[in-house]
Amino acid sequence: MKIRIENIVGVIEFDRLVDLNQVLGKLKHLGIQRLKRLPGLKLRINNVAILIYKSKAIIAGVKSVNELKAKARKLIEVLNNEGIEVSIRNTRIENITATISLNRRMNLKKIAELLKGAYDPDYRPCAVVKIYGVTVMIYENGNVLVIGAKTFEQIKEVTSLLEHL
């Protein structure tokens, strides 16, 4: 069995409010843009999306906590170098998406019944269940997509349960 982290979304809370107009002006050279529907800014650096709001930044596209922390430090460094004095008050994981390969065939109808989930092959080729507070999509070939985990422990618990089915 193999677990692979596909994406981590983290929230970086700033120690003070930032002026988004100032950030936009100072980071134009990095390709920063206004969000269309929300009062924030969007910056993409090396396949990592950073959404900047007045009190926080959301970082998506990293695959580890260390990478999340490194991107957060880099963002703060860039802002500080441009004269926008801000630091990190708190960092937290908002969402972890992972894939699991169980290396065996799965009876989706039986799993959906057992775990009180849904399986409708006309609608979706997988069973969808909620386990330990996360959404789990289980495919017949034994591949599993875990969406919405807040901790790595949740992913391990899901994996352990599925291994014993």
pLDDT of residue 164: 87
With beta carbons less than 8 A apart as the criterion, state whether 143 and 101 touch: yes
SS3 89: strand
pLDDT given at position 47: 85
pTM confidence score:
0.90
φ, ψ dihedrals at 63, nearest 5°: -120, 0
Distance, in Å, from the CA atom of 91 to the CA atom of 108, rounded to the nearest integer, reads 38
What integer pLDDT is reported at residue 150 of this predicted model?
Answer: 95
For 17-55, letters b (16+ CB in 10 Å) and e give: ebebeebeebbeeeebeeeeeeebbbbeeeebebbbbee
pLDDT score of 99? 98
Q: Which residues of the chain carry a pLDDT beneath 50?
A: none
Residue with tokens 């100032």: 22
pLDDT of residue 165: 84
What amino acid is encoded at 31 in this protein?
A: G
